[in-house]
Amino acid sequence: MDWVWEIYQEYVIRELGRLGNHNPPQDDLQRAFYQTLRESSVTVLVQEPWQNSVRFKGLARFIGTDMTALVNDPMNYLFEKFGGGKFKLNFHHHELNFVGTRNFKPEGEARWKDVPRIDF
């Protein structure tokens, strides 16, 4: 889950500082990271051709511990659930605060084409 910490590190440190903890020890960082992640959501989007360009199709949204399988093994999760494609994972805290994004590109047949679009 180190890749998720890379996305959240700056956000968690900034939030701890806002609360007065300007030089948090590792235990505080870890505790704040896991708490923040439990209060977060991730939206799975895929890049799809559209007219003479591309757009992003929303495939799924996971909140809190519902995202565990995805964050533990994103490449395999995306491939097993949606097939191949260019995926973007957007992380938000409390649904309002954008934290960061990460892209993944599992190879294979694009099984996501028949998945209904979600609003994001």
How confident is the model at residue 119, as a pLDDT?
86
**Tokens matching residue 74:** 């994103």
Beta bridge partners of 115: none
* Total-model pTM: 0.92
Q: In sequence order, what E strands does 52-96 have? A: 53-63, 87-93
How confident is the model at residue 45, as a pLDDT?
98
pLDDT tens sequence for the chain (120 residues): 899 999 999 999 999 999 999 999 999 999 999 999 999 999 999 999 889 899 999 999 999 999 999 999 999 999 999 999 999 999 999 988 999 999 999 999 999 999 999 987
How confident is the model at residue 95, as a pLDDT?
86
